[in-house]
Amino acid sequence: MQNWPCDPCSDSGLVTLHGLTSATNFRYLYLFTRNFCVPGIHSMENLSINSERLWQSIMEMAEIGATEKGGCARLALTDLDKQARDLLVQWCREAKCKIEVDEMGNIFSTRPGKVKNQPVMTGSHLDTQPTGGKFDGVYGVLSGLEVIRTLNDHQIETSHPIQLVVWTNEEGSRFQPAMVGSGVVAGAFELNDIYDCRDADGLRFVDELSRIDYKGNKPATIPNARAYIEVHIEQGPILEDANDLIGVVTHQQGIRWYTVTVTGKESHAGTTPMPIRQDALMAAAEIALKVKSIAEVNTPSGCGTVGMFDCYPGSPNTIPGKVVFSVDLRHPDNATLEEMEQQLINFTKTLSNQCDTRVDGYWKYPARAFDENCVEAVHKVVQNLGFPYQKMITGAGHDASYMAQVIPTSMIFIPCKDGISHNEVEHATMDHCAAGCQVLLHTLLEISQS
Ligand code: GLV
Ligand code: MN
Ligand code: MN
C-alpha cells in the first residue's frame, strides 16, 4: 500500500469526515475516524472525502429546476438539463479533467492516471422525474466529482485514470424508455432508434440533444474500462428499516415496459344502455387492477405500476372510445417476470367481448447479477470502514445495470428518508451521503491500484 500525506485541514493530522459532528452522529463519527489518519500514521487508507463540499455541490445543483416542495424537475434534454450539465462540466474543468461528449450526449470527465488507458469509471445521471428529488442520480454524479476533488487535494496519482460519466436520459420520463445513454453504449439499443424517440409534444430526441449542444462526436460504444462503480440512494426503505448505512448491491431486478391500448366505441353517456356499451376506460380500469394483483401474487419482490394513462376523446358525456396507458412490471427472477407478462396478456384477452386490446412490450431489462469481484471490492471497503451494511438487490433501474452487461460493475447504496424517491420530498442525510462517497472513493482506489 502506498503512503500519502494526511489531510492538511487537520491540525492533529487526524482526518475527519466533515459534518459528522452532532451527538446523534457520534456512532458514525467513531466509525469514520477510527479507520482514518492518526498522528504519525500516513496512509491512503486514511484518505477522506470532504462531506461539506459534497453536500454544498448537491444543494447547488438542486437549485437548477428547483420545485416549490423542495424537489427538482429537470427533464432530460431540456434547458434545465443543459444548465445542470454546463455546471458539472465547469466543475470538472476546474478539477482539471479532460471532457469528452459522445453521440448520445453522455459526458465523460477523466482524471489521468499513471497509465493512459482502462479508466475506472463511476457516474450516474442529472435528469430527474417530473416531480423528482435532489438526490436520485445527482448524488452519484457529485460523489464521483468529490472523489476526483479529494484525489486532487492530496495530489494522489492513481494507477489507472478515474472517469466520471453523466449518462443521458436515465429516467425515461420525457423520452421512453429509460437508461438509454448507458443502454446505447452497452449495445442494448440502436443509436438511431433512440434518436427517433419523441416526447409527448412530438419533439425528437436527437433534435433536442443538438439544441442543448450536447450531441458529441465520441462514438457511443463499449468503454475499454477496468470497472464501473455507481453510488446511489436506495430509493426504498430496506436500509433505513435495518439501520444499515450501506447497501452492497449484488443484483439488478428485471424490468419490462409496455404500452396497452384499449379500443372501444365512443357514444352518448346519457342514451347508451349499460349492457351494450364498449367503454374503453372501464376495460382499461380492469386491466390496471389486474396489474396490481399480478404483482401482489408475486410479493414481496413483484412490482406492477400504471404510471401514464390517456383517455380519449376526454369529455364528461362521451363514453371513452380509446385508452392508452403504460405498464411497468418488475421481478428479480426472469422466469417469474415472464409469467407475470403472460398473465397480463391472457387477462386482456378475456376482455375481447367488450373492447379490442393490444399489449406492446417495448423495453425489457433482464435481471442480472453484478460482477462478483466488484461486489467483493465494495464489500471489503465497507467492512474495513466498519460501516453497518447489508447485501441487497436493486429494485430501481440504473445505468449500472447496462454497464453490467459489458464491463465489471457493481453499486453502493445509502439510505433515503422513509424510503421515498421519485418524489419532491426525497431526502438523504449529509452523513449518509458522505458515507457512500467514502466507500466509493476507496473502492475506486482499490480497483485502480489492483
Ligand atoms: C429508474 O428510475 C427506474 O425506473 O427504476
Ligand atoms: Mn437514478
Ligand atoms: Mn429515478
pLDDT at 30 over 70: no
pLDDT of residue 46: 87
Round the average pLDDT of the chain to a whole number and report it: 91
C-alpha cell at 326: 403504460
pLDDT at 365 over 60: yes
Determine whether the shortest distance from the Cβ of 397 to ligand 1 is under 6 A.
Answer: yes
* Per-residue model confidence as pLDDT tens digits over 117-175: 999 999 999 999 999 999 999 999 999 999 999 999 999 999 999 999 999 999 999 99
pLDDT at 10 over 60: no
* Per-residue model confidence as pLDDT tens digits over 169-224: 999 999 999 999 999 999 999 999 999 999 999 999 999 999 999 999 999 999 99
Name the closest ligand to CA 135: 2
> Do residues 88 and 81 make contact, with C-beta atoms less than 8 angstroms apart?
no
pLDDT of residue 299: 83
What's the average model confidence in pLDDT over 349-366? 96
Q: Quick one: how far is CA 313 from the chain centroid? A: 36
List residues bridging with 251 in a β-sheet.
369, 393
| Confidence band for 45, pLDDT divided at 50, 70 and 90 | confident
* Per-residue model confidence as pLDDT tens digits over 284-321: 999 999 999 999 999 888 999 999 999 999 999 999 99
Name the closest ligand to CA 396: 1
Name the closest ligand to CA 254: 1
pLDDT at 9 over 60: no
Determine whether the shortest distance from the Cβ of 81 to ligand 1 is under 6 A.
Answer: no
> Do residues 214 and 396 make contact, with C-beta atoms less than 8 angstroms apart?
no
Distances (CA, A) of 212 to 118, 146, 206, 277: 30, 26, 10, 48
Closest atom of ligand 1 relative to the 398 alpha carbon: 1
What's the average model confidence in pLDDT over 363-377? 97
Q: How far apart are CA 178 and CA 269, in angstroms?
A: 38
Burial class (CB in 10 A: 0-12, 13-18, 19+), 284: buried
Closest atom of ligand 1 relative to the 397 alpha carbon: 5
d(CA 438, ligand 3 centre) in Å: 22
d(CA 275, ligand 2 centre) in Å: 46
Determine whether the shortest distance from the Cβ of 396 to ligand 1 is under 6 A.
Answer: yes
pLDDT at 326 over 70: yes
pLDDT at 63 over 60: yes
What's the average model confidence in pLDDT over 341-358? 97
Interior CA angle at 291 toward 286 and 294, to 5°?
Answer: 120
* Per-residue model confidence as pLDDT tens digits over 207-221: 999 999 999 999 999
Q: How far apart are CA 49 and CA 242, in angstroms?
A: 25
d(CA 331, ligand 3 centre) in Å: 17
d(CA 235, ligand 1 centre) in Å: 10
Q: How far apart are CA 250 and CA 383, in angstroms?
A: 16
Work out the percent of the chain whose per-residue pLDDT is above 90: 89
d(CA 397, ligand 1 centre) in Å: 4
pTM of the model: 0.89
Q: Is the dihedral of CA 100, 102, 104, 108 positive or negative?
A: negative
In three-state secondary structure terms, 193 is helix
Work out the percent of the chain whose per-residue pLDDT is above 70: 90
Determine whether the shortest distance from the Cβ of 321 to ligand 1 is under 6 A.
Answer: no
pLDDT of residue 43: 66
d(CA 175, ligand 1 centre) in Å: 13
What's the average model confidence in pLDDT over 324-338? 98
Name the residue with the closest Cα to ligand 1, atom 2.
171
What's the average model confidence in pLDDT over 250-275? 98
pLDDT of residue 214: 98
d(CA 177, ligand 1 centre) in Å: 10
* Per-residue model confidence as pLDDT tens digits over 225-241: 999 999 999 999 999 99
pLDDT of residue 284: 98
Q: How far apart are CA 323 and CA 356, in angstroms?
A: 11
Distances (CA, A) of 347 to 98, 172, 276, 294, 306: 53, 27, 21, 10, 16
Determine whether the shortest distance from the Cβ of 179 to ligand 1 is under 6 A.
Answer: no
Name the closest ligand to CA 136: 2
pLDDT of residue 265: 98
Q: How far apart are CA 105 and CA 212, in angstroms?
A: 10
What's the average model confidence in pLDDT over 62-84? 98
d(CA 126, ligand 2 centre) in Å: 9
pLDDT of residue 37: 35
pLDDT at 38 over 90: no
Determine whether the shortest distance from the Cβ of 171 to ligand 1 is under 6 A.
Answer: yes
Contacts of 128 (CB under 8 A, 6+ apart): 65, 71, 72, 73, 74, 75, 136, 137, 138, 171, 173
* Per-residue model confidence as pLDDT tens digits over 386-437: 999 999 999 999 999 999 999 999 999 999 999 999 999 999 999 999 999 9
Determine whether the shortest distance from the Cβ of 227 to ligand 1 is under 6 A.
Answer: no
Contacts of 297 (CB under 8 A, 6+ apart): none
Determine whether the shortest distance from the Cβ of 65 to ligand 1 is under 6 A.
Answer: no
Closest atom of ligand 1 relative to the 396 alpha carbon: 5
Best residue among 169, 179, 232, 234 to mutate for probing ligand 1's pocket (most ligand atoms within 8 Å of CB) is: 179
Name the residue with the closest Cα to ligand 1, atom 1.
397
pLDDT of residue 211: 98
d(CA 212, ligand 2 centre) in Å: 22
Q: Which amino acid is at 116?
A: K
